[in-house]
Amino acid sequence: MRSVSLLTVTCALALVLPATAGAAGLSEYRGFTLGDPLQAVIDRLQLAASDVKVVRERPTVQEVTWRPTQFVSGRTGETDSLAEMVLTFDEGRLARISVMYDRARTQGLTDEDLHDAIASVYGVSLLMPVPPQRSIGPPAARQAIGRWEDAKTFVLLWREDYPTRVGLAITSIASERVLQEAVEEGLPLHAIQGAATDRVSGTAEAAALQARDEKTRQDNKATFKP
């Protein structure tokens, strides 16, 4: 019962956040704030000490992973746009919030759609999305489609095409060097597997898929919440 209550509270925060987070600043996401102590975060998420992963010993970098559906089975109704959230800690303080959104809930959404949704939380972006350009070369592994920054925090909205993924990273600028060094040492902060999206050819089939994707886009655009 406690786990269900936690999920209910978390989803409620997701619903009210777009109206309030802009005033609160870039360091907040769904009620979490960069600088929060590790113990307070794992208590709030009702995680066990064994759920904390040590990424680096010295300086200490730790992380916990949370998925909004992991506590509830047989739940019906609106699903969360969030698929996974990885919270990374530098010396016991929250230093980065890495978000991966659910593929089904972002399917068909354009860069502009996603950018506008996040901008409703964090305000005007320093990086505006541009229309995609046709290219005969391989697509970029990760493309930044929105960027926000103040004196203490850096926020990046990104997308990958193969596999198709959309994510958001909220990072403490003061801790960025330590976190980057942990990555360079070969200890990734998080990894999420995904299958590549198959390309579809054929004029008739492509037209049908385009109509279906546009409907999916409109449905997801109406319900997507950062």
- Taking all residues of the chain, what is their mean pLDDT, rounded to a whole number? 75
Pairing of strands 93-101, 82-90: antiparallel
Domain that includes residue 56, residue range: 2-223
pLDDT at 88: 96
Please check whether residue 37 is in contact with residue 57, taking contact to mean a CB–CB distance below 8 angstroms.
no
What pLDDT was estimated at residue 211?
Answer: 65
Query: Could you give the C-alpha distances from 4 to 100, 145, 213, in angstroms and in order?
Result: 22, 34, 33
Provide the pLDDT for residue 148.
94
Going through the chain in order, the beta strands assigned E by DSSP cover 28-29, 32-33, 53-56, 61-66, 82-90, 93-101, 143-149, 153-160, 165-172
Residue 94 pLDDT more than 90? yes
The reported pLDDT for the residue numbered 80 is 82
Sign of CA dihedral 98, 117, 149, 139: positive
pLDDT of 155-179, one tens digit each?
A: 999 999 878 899 999 999 999 888 8
The per-residue b/e assignment along 108-142, b for 16 or more CB within 10 angstroms, e otherwise, is bbebbbbbbbbbebbeebeeebeeeeeeeeeeeee
Which DSSP state fits 37? B
Full-model pTM: 0.69
207 contacts: CB under 8 Å, gap ≥ 6: none
The C-alpha atoms of residue 59 and residue 75 are separated, in whole angstroms, by 41
pLDDT at 18 over 50: no
For 127, list phi and psi in degrees, rounded to 5.
Answer: -125, 115
Number of folded domains that form the chain = 1
Mean pLDDT of 126-147: 66
Q: Which two tokens stand for residue 178?
A: 């330590």
Model confidence pLDDT, tens digit, residues 45-63: 999 999 999 988 888 999 9
Cβ contacts of 58 within 8 Å, gap of 6 or more: none
